[in-house]
Structure 1
């Protein structure tokens, strides 16, 4: 299926958009599975590189921060921009963590659920490195903000760049909402369920036409980022999606957890026993972290209302 595309290399297919479309498709499908045997396929290694560049979660520790790339090619290939190292080279010399996958999963969920906006590094890739990056990393930067469908045979995935404008240093507005019916219909297509279709180019003629005109769909918003607009976006996001992987405690659960009445403090004792019994392993602390944060903000707001003086912490 794929080798046929290599017969004529000069055709210059968009390999990057195809790989990204397939990865988006697999992320959508695998995230809905619950079996332990479920796995992820596609251009998977690009996902952790993107994550390590932007999120302080699950990020490996560089072996030597003062000299993170000891095997640098000493500029031997700098004359050829397409033989220089890529962004992933930044994560070549790191310590590999070996441990329980179940424990790591809990750790990642806790860290993601307690992540704040200020901890995310949104800015785009650039040449601010201790080496010159490969020309392929930035050669299509004019199309990075093209809001258009990406296609790979039976897979059609939208490049919703208007939802991550901050990643390009631009003002984050309220995104355009695509028809849920259209998106759901596209996600239903699979090669297994449509084996009678051999001409996907004809089937997806509409989407291919949009892809061929992708220069017309480049986002025109060029105002710089500001926090006020981003807060409005977060309100919109919270109305359509969820911020947390695991739901927080209800008020009843929290009241039971902090109750001083031992006959009603079953939640506290249960949580306390879990902490004691899971020595050197992970517990779900994100929910308590969020609740304590809300309680702290409530106390701060109440103290500010009752006294005009500013608090010193």
Structure 2
């Protein structure tokens, strides 16, 4: 995902269907309307015919960006699966672990401490995000030059002890929204929008400026 947000990147790998289901479930403002009787598994509900795109963008990048940039804080669903009890509660605790996710030479950070609301915990102002710039320089060729057991040994050790890095505190029984303190911090960030500047202005705020008549002094 980190490499895929580069403007020069035109492709991405992985389970795109899972990413789509995550986005459409939590951001209904960009999701097409699916039939009430959805097929199994859950993610297939947006892979069937006759979806309703009347009030949502479809295959339009700027349309998706526009909707997300203008989304209100109560339009994001943090706990879309609230009420669905996991089969094993102890396994669900591991989901909140702030740890490294490793797939061969690819390393990403499961930064759960920055999205605590998604896991049923109150969200304070998060610490600085961990930078994995050096990890992203690793390629398949470079990885072959090292033994896999020694490649990212610290990160692998963190993953093996992931139960030590789960979020603290009891889970909330209801979905909470970001606090005023958090939103003030969020609005202080310099880069918050995906759209170009001309798509962020409200045309109702544009005032007509009278033009000077041709030939007038």
Whether TM exceeds 0.5 here: the answer is yes
Establish whether residue 113 from structure 1 lines up as the match of residue 69 from structure 2.
yes
Q: Distance in 2 between matches of 1:134 and 1:170?
A: 17
Q: Residue 42 of structure 2 corresponds to which residue in structure 1?
A: 87
- Per-residue CA deviations over 1:259-282 (Å, capped at 9, x if unaligned) read 33135xxxxxxxxxxxxxxxxxxx
Q: Residue 151 of structure 1 corresponds to which residue in structure 2?
A: 102
SS in 2 for 1:206: helix
Establish whether residue 210 from structure 1 lines up as the match of residue 151 from structure 2.
no
What is the aligned-residue RMSD (CA, Å)? Answer: 3.6
> How far did 1:31 drift?
1.4
Q: Distance in 1 between matches of 2:122 and 2:171?
A: 5
Relative to structure 1, the CA distance from residue 93 to residue 172 in structure 2 (aligned partners, 3 Å threshold; closer, same or farther) is: same
- Per-residue CA deviations over 1:64-108 (Å, capped at 9, x if unaligned) read x3xx13x6xxxxxxxxxxxxx44325445453579xx99712211
Q: Residue 215 of structure 2 corresponds to which residue in structure 1?
A: none
Q: Residue 266 of structure 1 corresponds to which residue in structure 2?
A: none
Residue from 172, 176, 189 that aligns with 2:127: 176
Structure 2 gaps, min length 5: 213-217
Relative to structure 1, the CA distance from residue 135 to residue 223 in structure 2 (aligned partners, 3 Å threshold; closer, same or farther) is: closer
Q: Distance in 2 between matches of 1:239 and 1:200?
A: 41
Establish whether residue 104 from structure 1 lines up as the match of residue 60 from structure 2.
yes
Q: Residue 34 of structure 1 corresponds to which residue in structure 2?
A: 8
Q: Residue 15 of structure 1 corresponds to which residue in structure 2?
A: none
Structure 1 contact 145–218 (Cα < 8 Å) conserved: yes
SS in 1 for 2:150: helix
Establish whether residue 56 from structure 1 lines up as the match of residue 28 from structure 2.
yes
Structure 1 gaps, min length 5: 1-26, 72-84, 264-313
SS in 2 for 1:242: coil
Establish whether residue 142 from structure 1 lines up as the match of residue 98 from structure 2.
no
Larger radius of gyration: 1
Q: Distance in 2 between matches of 1:245 and 1:61?
A: 24
Aligned residues: 206
Q: Distance in 2 between matches of 1:236 and 1:156?
A: 28
Relative to structure 1, the CA distance from residue 178 to residue 105 in structure 2 (aligned partners, 3 Å threshold; closer, same or farther) is: closer
Establish whether residue 245 from structure 1 lines up as the match of residue 194 from structure 2.
yes
Establish whether residue 201 from structure 1 lines up as the match of residue 152 from structure 2.
no
Structure 1 contact 52–58 (Cα < 8 Å) conserved: yes
**Higher relative contact order, chain-length normalized (CA < 8 Å, sep 6+):** 2
Considering fraction of residues, name the structure with more helix. Answer: 1
SS in 2 for 1:49: helix
Structure 1 contact 171–222 (Cα < 8 Å) conserved: no
Q: What TM-score comes out, normalization by structure 1 length?
A: 0.55
Q: Distance in 2 between matches of 1:195 and 1:226?
A: 43
SS in 2 for 1:166: helix
Q: Residue 114 of structure 2 corresponds to which residue in structure 1?
A: 163
